[in-house]
Chain A
Amino acid sequence: MNARADQPSAPSPANVGIVIVSHSPLVAKGAADMVRQMVGDCVPLAWTGGNVEGGLGTHVAGIAAAIEAAWSEAGVAIFVDLGGAETNSEMAVERLGPARAARVAICNAPLVEGAVVAAAEASGGSSLAKVVATAEELSP
């Protein structure tokens, strides 16, 4: 399963985008559904889950496509589940080059709660730093 842009209509490009990366496409899509229910379409949102063959796992190309789909000049906050999702996300971010990579943050926060809280913060036009800080408050 590859990246899905989840944008019923064009979101405000000024808001920070949200990317959800899970080993499971069902978890990723479910979390994205919850984000969408919370903030409608005013936040760029994309999800990716599964390995290149569609089984459980994560892969760099899928994550890179999700980042592109949720790209915002204000930045992108990524939410991950288990270890490989984080390291593969790091690889995908580094491949953006230094200028764009500086506008992407991988959040140390729970996947579902983090993405929902971050999206709510982003929907108000907050900066990437503020969006990330709000989500990371969830992690002790």
Chain B
Amino acid sequence: MHLAAADLSALIALCRAEIDRHGEHLGALDSAIGDGDHGANMRRGLEAVFAERDAIAALPLPAALERIGLVLVMNIGGAAGPLYGTLLMELGRALPDGDEADDLAAPLERAIAAVARRGRSGPGDKTLLDVLYPVQAELVRRSPPGDIAACARSAAHSTGPMQARRGRASFLGARSIGHEDPGASSCALLTAAICGYFEEHRPS
């Protein structure tokens, strides 16, 4: 898979628009079990990446992903900043040099492991990892983008019945059950947006 600068720039714009569209909803999800700032934090992070999109898209893919991660870390704040930032920075570091990314599954596996270490979390803790693990498994199976997007949405939805074991939602104990995790939700939105792009454009 070759990702041209135009593709990366378009993907950044798409992700920013998706988060902007759902910012209120993410905030409402976070208000239910956290501090309510996830929508605003994600918007701020994606706006900052969007503002730098031309410079970022001009970089080789590994460096571009690392840069996106750093911009997210510096701008999202909260608990999500270090998690999304670590995901993108480690993904960039795990990719081979150049713009070719034939096998995204292995680099993504490494990046997800780094996120798990950063958050000291694992499967079933009601976090964005509960979306990332199944999405990575779909990549291993080389599933089509539409299936990966559906998997991400369903995985986010499945965090509803979970009891939070990490982050502020864990302070609520059993009362965190019944609410979809905002981090899992934003992760699914971004995954679905990216998959939608690849479904339409299918980069060579």
**Could you list which residues of chain A lie within 8 angstroms of chain B, going by C-beta atoms?**
51-53, 55-61, 82-84, 87-88, 90-91
Cβ-neighbour of B82 out of A55, A82, A91 (below 8 A): A91
A60: B residues at CB distance < 8 A? 73-74, 77, 81-82
Contact indicator A87/B37 (Cβ below 8 Å): no
Contact with A along B60-90 (1 / 0, CB 8 A): 0000000000000111011101110110000
Contact indicator B118/A51 (Cβ below 8 Å): no
Once the chains are docked, how many angstroms separate the CA of A83 from the CA of B183?
A: 14
B110: A residues at CB distance < 8 A? none
B44: A residues at CB distance < 8 A? 52-53
Once the chains are docked, how many angstroms separate the CA of A87 from the CA of B117?
A: 11
- 27 chain-A/chain-B pairs, Cβ below 8 angstroms: A51-B41, A51-B78, A52-B44, A53-B44, A56-B35, A56-B37, A58-B77, A59-B74, A60-B74, A60-B77, A60-B81, A60-B82, A83-B168, A84-B77, A84-B78, A84-B81, A84-B82, A87-B81, A87-B82, A87-B83, A87-B118, A87-B119, A88-B77, A88-B81, A88-B82, A90-B118, A91-B85
Once the chains are docked, how many angstroms separate the CA of A90 from the CA of B81?
A: 12
A sample of 8 more A-B contacts (CB under 8 A), given A59-B77, A84-B78, is: A51-B41, A51-B77, A55-B37, A83-B167, A87-B81, A87-B82, A87-B83, A91-B85
Total interface residues on B, using CB and 8 Å?
A: 20
Chain B at the A interface: SS class? helix
Cβ-neighbour of A57 out of B78, B82, B119, B167 (below 8 A): B78
B118: A residues at CB distance < 8 A? 87, 90
Residue of A nearest to B169 (CB): A83
Cβ-neighbour of B75 out of A52, A84, A90 (below 8 A): A52
A51: B residues at CB distance < 8 A? 37, 41, 77-78
